[in-house]
């Protein structure tokens, strides 16, 4: 058997314990250290995993922890400094979404990883979901025809964030799925929202991504809804897919429904849309934990030197859309052109997550930092 890859998880708050549990369960991984500034959290995790080292000093974890790779599950505003320190220390690096607080920061991390031949991966967990993988197969097979639009809703009551708005918190899941299915970047972004609870931090947003060939995607995000909703509808020219991640079974349904325009007509009286209603199909989907698949993929990429599905480039593409959404919010929903990435962040997408460091932080030395949840 190949030598185990030694991993350290930094940030033991909301999501970090899930990474700890999954990395520890993988046969080709040795979970070496858990790092956080909270002694209380570390003590609790140490009671669950007594064989794993615990540390409150991130820099010492990098210097003396004996790890090959670092997984970062801290607040977004710490991602850049912590990931940069990890990469400069020669560690393969996994960063939870979103990758960083600006595209300039993402670009610098990608370049450091390239120079040092290290794996840089972003936690776009839903790309590893069996349901999303099945949807991707269906779309690529041409079964639903040409995609016309995608509509996504991700709603719940909380968890309220203090440093990023709801678009930066919840929309990355839907954006990553949409980009994966569309296989191209949108041309323009419109985003409107409201800050009902914390001034300056939107808790409800509605985002529209416009793609070439009259295709679009709408994303509704909210921390103020009484129900937990995780739903996406993909409307094709032949069929439609409804993906409900909250559903205990039958998460994916294919509707044999469409609207057809008459090919020929001479008068308005002859013009009639044809509505087709067929069966509903429920494809078989094997139940697997997406995070476990994602963690295994990170290890496989390290072992074989391959590019992750959710690579640093994918993380950059997503952050550029979030930047554009922040810019559009300031323009009261005005359209922001995404443009082509080249060097620094495009002029039309210079907004950054509220309360987080802007592009000016990229390029500065990474200070010694401690892990935060």
**The two three-digit tokens of residue 128, written as one number:** 């590893």
Would strands 69-72 and 92-96 be described as parallel, antiparallel, or unpaired? parallel
Given a contact cutoff of 8 angstroms between Cβ atoms, the answer to whether 33 and 6 are in contact is: no
Percent of the chain with pLDDT over 90: 80
Mean pLDDT of the 44-48 span: 97
Q: How would CATH label the architecture of 5-124+290-308+353-361?
A: 3-Layer(aba) Sandwich (3.40)
Given a contact cutoff of 8 angstroms between Cβ atoms, the answer to whether 81 and 298 are in contact is: no
Q: How is residue 364 annotated by DSSP?
A: S
- Residue 237: phi and psi, rounded to 5, are -75, -20
Cα 157 off chain centre by: 20
pLDDT at 257: 77
Q: What pLDDT, in 10s, does the model give residues 72-81?
A: 999 999 999 9
- Residue 200: phi and psi, rounded to 5, are 85, -5
Confidence label for 34 from pLDDT (cuts 50, 70 and 90): very high
Mean pLDDT of the 238-250 span: 95
CATH class name, domain 127-281: alpha beta
Whether residue 343 is predicted with pLDDT greater than 50 in this model: the reply is: no
Confidence label for 361 from pLDDT (cuts 50, 70 and 90): very low
Distances (CA, A) of 41 to 16, 67, 77, 212: 11, 21, 21, 48
Average model confidence (pLDDT) for the chain? 89
Mean pLDDT of the 35-51 span: 97
Given a contact cutoff of 8 angstroms between Cβ atoms, the answer to whether 115 and 312 are in contact is: no
Q: Where are the domains of the chain?
A: 5-124+290-308+353-361, 127-281
Confidence label for 263 from pLDDT (cuts 50, 70 and 90): low
Confidence label for 273 from pLDDT (cuts 50, 70 and 90): low
Given a contact cutoff of 8 angstroms between Cβ atoms, the answer to whether 221 and 209 are in contact is: no
Q: What pLDDT, in 10s, does the model give residues 91-112?
A: 999 999 999 999 999 999 999 9
Residues 68, 73, 77, 78, CA torsion sign: negative
Spatial neighbors of 232 by CB under 8 A, at least 6 apart, are 150, 151, 152, 153, 174, 177, 242, 243
Confidence label for 275 from pLDDT (cuts 50, 70 and 90): low
Spatial neighbors of 287 by CB under 8 A, at least 6 apart, are 130
- Residue 250: phi and psi, rounded to 5, are 50, 50
Confidence label for 267 from pLDDT (cuts 50, 70 and 90): low
Global confidence as pTM: 0.87
């Amino acid at each position: 058997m190949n030598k185990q890859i030694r991993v350290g998880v930094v940030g033991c708050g909301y999501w970090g314990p899930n990474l700890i549990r999954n990395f520890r369960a993988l046969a080709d991984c040795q979970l070496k250290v858990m790092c956080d500034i909270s002694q209380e959290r570390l003590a609790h995790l140490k009671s669950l995993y007594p064989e794993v080292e615990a540390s409150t000093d991130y820099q010492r974890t990098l210097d003396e922890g004996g790890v090959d790779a670092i997984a970062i599950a801290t607040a977004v505003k710490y991602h850049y400094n912590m990931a940069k320190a990890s990469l400069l220390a020669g560690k393969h690096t996994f960063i939870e979404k979103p990758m960083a607080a600006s595209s300039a920061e993402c670009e610098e991390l990608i370049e450091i990883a390239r120079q040092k031949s290290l794996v840089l991966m972003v936690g776009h967990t839903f790309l590893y979901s069996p349901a999303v993988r099945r949807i991707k197969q269906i779309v690529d097979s041409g079964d639903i025809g040409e995609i016309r639009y995608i509509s996504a809703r991700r709603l719940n009551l909380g968890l309220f964030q203090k440093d990023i708005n709801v678009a930066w918190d919840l929309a990355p899941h839907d954006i990553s799925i949409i980009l994966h299915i569309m296989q191209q970047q949108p041309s323009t972004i419109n985003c409107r929202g409201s800050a009902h609870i914390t001034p300056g931090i939107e808790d409800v947003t509605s985002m529209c991504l416009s793609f070439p060939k009259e295709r679009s995607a709408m994303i509704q995000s909210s921390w103020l809804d009484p129900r937990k909703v995780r739903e996406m509808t993909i409307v094709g020219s032949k069929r439609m897919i409804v993906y409900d991640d909250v559903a205990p079974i039958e998460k994916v349904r294919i509707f044999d429904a469409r609207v057809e325009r008459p090919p020929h007509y001479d008068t308005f009286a002859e013009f009639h849309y044809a509505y087709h209603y067929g069966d509903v199909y429920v494809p078989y989907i094997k139940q697997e934990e997406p995070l476990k698949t994602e963690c295994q993929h990170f290890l496989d990429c390290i072992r074989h030197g391959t590019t992750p599905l959710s690579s640093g480039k994918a993380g950059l593409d997503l952050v550029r859309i979030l930047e554009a959404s922040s810019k559009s919010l300031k323009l009261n929903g005005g359209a922001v052109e995404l443009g082509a990435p080249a060097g620094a962040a495009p002029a039309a997408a210079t907004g950054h997550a509220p309360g987080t460091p802007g592009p000016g932080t990229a390029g500065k030395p990474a200070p010694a930092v401690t892990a935060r949840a």
